[in-house]
């Protein structure tokens, strides 16, 4: 009979190593809520990173790092059309078409509002996007993709 003796210190190191070994199997509530279309934002009283750092967004898109893009937008936490639009981009990149549809629709409706549109809150820094038009085009695009599957 074989007995395995492990100290508490070794067990902690093993668990810590497994937790940092990869993210494919680790549960992350923020990302799981995103994947289910349940991400939410809170106003922080500053200019959003999403609007200031278009090059960072572009880097995520070029690398096809959809989870990284979602995390970047979620950690910024701004309730604007452009934020929901980029969550839609991330979800579409992950082929989560229903989720992408949810975020693109949210971006469309926020784009109609004077309080949640990046073009209507006093400064237009929407990374070249035009709301609500671009959000509606994205809604139609994911509907077509979903119908084709």
Domain boundaries, the chain: 27-148
pTM of the shown model:
0.77
Q: How far apart (Å, rounded) are the C-alpha atoms in residues 107 and 104?
A: 5
Alpha carbons 115 and 56: distance in angstroms, whole number: 25
What is the per-residue pLDDT across 47-80, written as a single tens digit (0 to 9) for each? 666 666 778 888 999 999 999 999 988 888 778 8
- Please state, rounded to an integer, the average pLDDT across all residues of the chain: 81
Residues whose CB is less than 8 angstroms from the CB of residue 30 and which lie 6 or more positions away in sequence, other chains included: 39, 71, 74
Give me the pLDDT at residue 115, please.
78
Interval 12-27: pLDDT, tens: 444 444 444 444 557 7
SS percent in the chain: helix, strand, coil, step 5: 60, 0, 40
Hey, what are 96's tokens?
A: 């989560």
Please say whether the beta carbons of 129 and 106 come within 8 A.
Answer: no
């Amino acid at each position: 009979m074989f007995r395995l003796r492990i100290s508490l210190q070794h067990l902690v190191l093993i668990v810590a190593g497994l937790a940092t070994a990869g993210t494919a199997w680790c549960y992350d509530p923020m990302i799981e809520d995103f994947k289910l279309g349940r991400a939410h934002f809170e106003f922080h009283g500053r200019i959003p990173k999403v609007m200031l750092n278009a090059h960072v967004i572009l880097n995520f898109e070029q690398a096809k790092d959809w989870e990284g893009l979602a995390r970047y937008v979620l950690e910024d936490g701004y309730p604007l059309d452009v934020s929901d639009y980029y969550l839609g981009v991330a979800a579409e990149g992950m082929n989560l078409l229903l989720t992408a549809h949810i975020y693109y629709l949210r971006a469309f409706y926020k784009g109609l509002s004077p309080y949640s549109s990046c073009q209507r809150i006093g400064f237009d820094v929407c990374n070249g996007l035009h709301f609500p038009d671009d959000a509606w085009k994205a809604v139609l695009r994911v509907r077509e993709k979903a119908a084709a599957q």
